[in-house]
Structure formats: structure tokens, C-alpha cells
Amino acid sequence: MDSSIHRLSESQVLSHHGVPEDHKLALRCFLKSWHGSDEQGEWMRAQHGWKDAAALLASAPYDPATVQITSKGWASSGINPYRILLCGFGRKLCGRGNQCRRCALDRIDFAQSELVPAFEKANHWYAMVLAMDRRADYAGIHRGDRTLNPKTPSVPVYQPFKGRSDGWSPLHSGAEVRYLFDATRDGFFDAARVLCKTGLLDGAFAHFEISFSFWSGASNYDLWSHIRHRVEPQLNLLVNSPKPLDAHAVKRVYEVMAECLRRRLGPEHCWSYPDLWFAPVLDEKRMSGWIAYMLKSWRFDRWYQDALKHRCDRRELNLCFDEVVFVNGHRLASAKSSTRRYGNLHYTPKKPSANIAHRIPPEPTQEQIRLLQDDQYAATHPEIVDAMFFWADKREKRRGRRESGRDIKP
């Protein structure tokens, strides 16, 4: 966007001539719901930064003719702000969980329905984050507290790189370093797979996410701006193990992670130091909270605000932010391959009993629902009855109805 407006201000966005009229219309519809006095409005206002994110999203350009070739044909290479801002209208979801709070809640709810019932079926549960850190004196193993928040102060357990020189951060969103990004992501997933295969962990639910940082300086991405940025990848994990993870076991997890990254990146491309954060998951409530953290939507409103705090020129930031975050970031964080399951949390038809997670039933067809009116058919197909009530419950939650004592909004 070629303008110096503050894109977190809905008034500046709505009054700017460069914002498409359909985006302004979608933002007004969003704000009408956000200011509503009903339960949905209260829930929307409780989501920190959502209004700012909506204004930023509305000011992003979108060209439906911009496409890329995927394994399944042609697909848009960016996101559609109009569709995301109108998510939920007409009972249709946009399906962009990385950018939409409403769809992030939907995928969180399904993951909780799948994984929380498995809490009693495994002995020991842990939350983990696999990442890279350029600070040699910090990188290593860190144990978190019961809040399961990686942002809170943690206790260093193992820091093998103290005294070495700091690493560097070459990862930006450009195509020329895409191979480093892909290798880092694959190394994280390899570590989760190997840990389950070797028996150190029994199962793992993994979600890959990225974040962006911007600051003032000679650009490492283009030739015209004075804004640098970097991509920060990490793998969030919910794992279970046959035994408690003592210091020796956690070090073994760390060694597997470091070896997988070394194999993928090669010694000449190990750009930073492996970093592992972990904390025990002690009850189902904490497990639900950790799943919500794992699958949360992007806080691009914070990325924009932090960039301004880092003294980025606002006009230059507005010009590069959309391409870096909404086009390149959307491409890097492929939603369909960013969530994976391993071990006893992965269902295989050959060994269905090995999966301890609750399987999400397929949604019944209209013909099956009609046949359920016959008591004999319903008695012989209890799985369809259970599926019907499961999906009816999900529909009620999407509409903001109270269910089972929980208030989940669409």
C-alpha cells in the first residue's frame, strides 16, 4: 500500500481513497459485529488486537488474478481480505485459520475434541517448542512453568553453546533463501517423527508456525527500502511419553533435534543454534489451553506495531508488509502440511487400536440423517447417530450457542 496512513486505525483505513470499496464494506460489517451488544460482540471485543488486525487486513490489496502453481493445480498466492473479514456471514467460514480468529477457533475446537479425551490414555504429557536461536549464551534446553506459556521466564536446563559467537538470521521471505526455510521446517518434523519411531516419545501432535520481525536498516529483501525483516519458524508440539522426561531424556530429545537439523541444513548452513522449550501438561484444562496456543492465528497486528516501535518508516512498511506477510508468509506456512501427527496420535487403518486420540467422525449425509428417523436403522448404526450429534454440537458452537458449560463463539 503506497501510503503513510496508520493501518491499525480503522478511521484512517475507511477514509483512504486507495482502499478498495469492497474491503471498506467488509470492514464496516466486521465493525458492526464487533461493536454489537450481543454475546458475539462481547467475545470479539475480548480478542486482543482483533479490531486492529481487521483494519490492517482491510487495507491489504488483493489481486484474484495472482496465482501460483500447486500440486493440485492453480491457486491464489495471497489471501482474500474481503472473504476473511466477512467470515461467518451466511454461516460460511473462510478457512484461513492463520489470519482469521474465527477459523482458528474452529480448528482449535476440533483438535481439542480429538486430543483432550486421550489425556487419560497416556502416562505423561508434555508441551514442547522446537526453534532456532542466534544467541549462543541462551540457546539450549529450557523448562517452562505450569502456565505453559513459552513467553514467560523459563529455567535453563542445558546450554551447550555458551561462550561461542552468536549465530545469524538469514531467513527472510524471499525465494532465494526458501531452501533454508524448507530445510529448517523439515528438520523440525523429522525430529518429531524420529523421536516417536525410536520410542523416546509415544506420540506427537505437531503444528508448524511462523512469525515475522521488522526493523529499520538496509533491506535484506529488496533494493529500494530501508526495512529489514526475518522469518522465525518454530514447531509446537503436544507429546506423550512412556516415562517422565528427566534431564537425560530431554537431552536426548535435544540431540535428536540437533542431528535432524544438521542433516537437513548441512554444516555450512546451520545458521543458528537449536533451542528446545518444554513443560509438563498436568491436566486436561492445561492441555486444552496448550492446543489453543499451538493453533492460534497470526498476530500480524503486533508485527506491524512492533515494526513501528523499531523505527520503520511507515510508508515503506506499508509498501512491503503485504507482500512479506500476506503473500510470502501465506506461501511459506502451507496450512495443509503444517499440522501432522505421529505415533499413537496418528491413525492408520492397519492398526486402528494404536491410535489413542478420538477420531473425528465423518459428517453424516442428508440421506443418512433421513434414514435415522427409522428406529431400527438408528439402532443398527449407532456410529451415525453419534456423528450426527457431534456435528450438531459443532454447528451450535459456530453460531455462538452455549454448550456443555462453555461459551464458544463463531
pLDDT tens digits for range 173-212: 998 989 999 999 999 999 999 999 999 999 999 999 999 9
Q: Give me the mean pLDDT over the 356-363 stretch.
A: 89
Q: Which residue has the cell 518444554?
A: 278
Cβ-based burial of 61 (10 A; exposed 0-12, middle 13-18, buried ≥19): middle
Q: What's the pLDDT tens digit per position in 140-151?
A: 999 999 889 888
CA 107 to each of CA 21, 139, 156: distance values in angstroms, whole numbers, following the listed order: 30, 31, 33
Percent of the chain with pLDDT over 70: 92
Return left, alpha or beta for 322; rule: phi > 0 is left, psi -120 to 50 is alpha, else beta: alpha
Per-residue pLDDT band for 245 (boundaries 50, 70, 90) equals very high
CA 106 to each of CA 85, 89, 95, 334, 408: distance values in angstroms, whole numbers, following the listed order: 16, 15, 9, 18, 10
- What was the pLDDT predicted at 77? 52
Angle formed by the axes of helices 21-34 and 39-46, to 10°?
110
Mention every residue, 6+ apart, whose C-beta is less than 8 A from residue 152.
144, 145
Strand partners, 73: 70
**232 pLDDT exceeds 50?**
yes
Q: What's the pLDDT tens digit per position in 54-106?
A: 999 999 988 776 555 444 444 455 789 999 999 988 778 888 899 999 899 98
